[in-house]
């Protein structure tokens, strides 16, 4: 899915746009990492696992930027309204990969993140 010709500078722009979306909806989640190439959020504490449960994250990979949105794994019904274009970006059950800033896709991802995080914040993780 990655494009080998994408420069690190281009990926940094994609990362900044995706990080801004996730940060805007972070709410009470815990920031576990915030570097130039990685931004990670955790939700509630799991006594059984003895750690916070990951809520989402954005990471620069070698040829693309990954946007991990765990609520769509925990609440699979959130995937029902995905556009074909955003679904095409999906890798696995809760990750989207991007190589460029696409305003329409980012707008859809922004709304999905908002709804997903609102639902995820209400969950318990025992």
Residue 58 confidence class, pLDDT cut points 50, 70, 90: very high
Has residue 1 been placed in a domain?
no
Residue with tokens 């679904």: 87
Enter the DSSP assignment of 51: E
Pair 84, 105: CB distance under 8 Å: no
Has residue 51 been placed in a domain?
yes
Residue 17 domain boundaries? 8-121
The pLDDT, as a whole number, for residue 4 is 63
The pLDDT, as a whole number, for residue 47 is 79
Q: Which residue, 122, 2, 121, is CA-closest to 59?
A: 2
Q: What total of structural domains would you count in the chain? A: 1
Has residue 12 been placed in a domain?
yes
The pLDDT, as a whole number, for residue 35 is 97
Has residue 126 been placed in a domain?
no
Has residue 2 been placed in a domain?
no
Separation CA 75–CA 66 (nearest Å): 19
> CB atoms < 10 A from the CB of 6, how many?
17
51-60 and 65-69 strand pairing: antiparallel
- pTM, two decimals, is 0.91
């Amino acid at each position: 899915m990655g494009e080998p010709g994408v420069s690190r500078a281009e990926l940094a722009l994609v990362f900044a746009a995706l990080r801004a979306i996730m940060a805007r909806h972070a709410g009470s989640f815990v920031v576990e990492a915030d570097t130039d190439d990685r931004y990670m959020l955790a939700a509630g504490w799991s006594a059984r696992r003895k750690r916070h449960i990951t809520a989402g994250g954005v990471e620069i990979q070698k040829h693309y930027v990954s946007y991990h949105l765990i609520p769509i794994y925990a609440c699979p019904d959130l995937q029902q309204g995905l556009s074909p274009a955003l679904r095409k970006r999906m890798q696995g059950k809760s990750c989207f990969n991007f190589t460029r800033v696409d305003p329409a896709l980012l707008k859809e991802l922004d709304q999905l993140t908002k709804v997903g995080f609102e639902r995820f914040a209400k969950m318990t993780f025992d």
